[in-house]
């Protein structure tokens, strides 16, 4: 212990759930659903939620009985004006917040959320933006969540922009939104889905499981000559490896938008 003055001036905060600051909302868990063996889909009812664009995120704040608070960011799997907000949370083994959200949260529980956040990693229909370039989505693991929101928004808008999603995932059991993607691939809006399995592939899969390499990336994405917009989301290592390869393959760095969530 040092003999530095203590922060006596800081009063203990009063009931944090009572009056959220602007941007903070009290959300009620409407439903939970096991997404994968390691992840849970959580549907929240958020009165006052202003709606969100596809690709945005929110912060979840948990407060312990002793006042200790932990805040973490999660991508939003839904978009539009609804006050029903969908998350899909992956459990980090040493996490402070995600094990609670994945294993313990039940319908009727209340959480504090702050958002919607982030205008950088978003997609909106070409009718709104005037941008008709093809869109390449590249996901590593749970990084698929905001990209799923974009693919879903694309289908909802019957947007004619060509979409491709390259999804790197450990095993077939770890695929998020499996049924939903099957529907999106068959929707009127064009979506091509390419899955790379890193640990275990389905029976009879043409490619042996393994980490995605530059050649496989090149084969599964729109070529740089088509000037696609690219959204990459996943662990920091995955995102940086992919972004470096894209630049080497001639993609314009300004057309590549990334979101790193840390983790292993």
Question: Interface with another protein by CB under 8 A: which residues?
Answer: 7, 10-11, 13, 21, 23, 53-59, 71, 73, 114-115, 117-124, 128, 236, 257-263
Picking from 24, 173, 147, the residue whose alpha carbon sits closest to that of residue 78 is 147
Picking from 163, 164, 165, 159, the residue whose alpha carbon sits closest to that of residue 130 is 159
Picking from 87, 82, 38, the residue whose alpha carbon sits closest to that of residue 263 is 38
Shortest Cβ distance from residue 49 to another protein (Å)? Answer: 15
- The kind and range of the H/E element at 126 are helix 126-129
Shortest Cβ distance from residue 59 to another protein (Å)? Answer: 4
Rounded-to-integer distance, Cα 46 and Cα 111, Å: 10
Nearer to another protein, 12 or 37 (CB): 12
Shortest Cβ distance from residue 81 to another protein (Å)? Answer: 12
Nearer to another protein, 153 or 169 (CB): 153
Nearer to another protein, 168 or 258 (CB): 258
Nearer to another protein, 159 or 195 (CB): 159
31 forms beta bridges with: 43
Residue 49, CB-side half-sphere exposure with 13 Å CA sphere: 28
Nearer to another protein, 174 or 259 (CB): 259
43 forms beta bridges with: 31, 86
Shortest Cβ distance from residue 166 to another protein (Å)? Answer: 20
Nearer to another protein, 219 or 247 (CB): 247
Shortest Cβ distance from residue 258 to another protein (Å)? Answer: 7
Shortest Cβ distance from residue 71 to another protein (Å)? Answer: 7
Helix (H, G, I), strand (E, B) or coil at 109: coil
Helix (H, G, I), strand (E, B) or coil at 61: strand
135 forms beta bridges with: 163, 229
């Amino acid at each position: 212990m040092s003999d530095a003055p203590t922060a006596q001036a800081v009063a203990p905060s009063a009931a944090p759930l009572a009056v959220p600051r602007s941007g903070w909302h009290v959300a009620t868990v409407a439903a939970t659903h096991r997404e994968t063996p390691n992840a849970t889909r959580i549907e929240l009812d958020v009165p006052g939620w202003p709606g969100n664009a596809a690709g945005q995120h929110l912060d979840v704040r948990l407060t312990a009985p002793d006042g200790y608070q932990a805040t973490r960011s999660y991508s939003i799997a839904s978009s539009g004006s609804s006050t029903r907000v969908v998350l899909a949370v992956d459990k980090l083994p040493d996490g402070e917040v995600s094990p609670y959200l994945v294993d313990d949260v039940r319908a009727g529980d209340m959480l504090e959320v702050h958002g919607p956040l982030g205008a950088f990693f978003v997609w909106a229909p070409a009718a709104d933006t005037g941008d008709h370039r093809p869109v390449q989505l590249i996901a590593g693991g749970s990084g698929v969540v905001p990209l799923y929101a974009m693919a879903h928004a694309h289908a909802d808008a019957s947007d004619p922009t060509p979409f491709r999603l390259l999804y790197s995932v450990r095993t077939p059991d770890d695929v998020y939104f499996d049924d939903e993607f099957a529907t999106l691939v068959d929707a009127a809006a064009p979506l091509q889905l390419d899955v790379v399995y890193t640990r275990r592939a389905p029976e009879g899969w043409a490619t042996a499981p393994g980490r995605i390499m530059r050649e496989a990336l090149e084969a599964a994405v729109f070529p740089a000559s088509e000037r696609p917009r690219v959204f990459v989301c996943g662990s920091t290592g995955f995102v940086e490896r992919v972004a470096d390869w894209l630049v080497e393959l001639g993609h314009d760095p300004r057309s590549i938008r990334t979101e790193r969530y840390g983790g292993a």
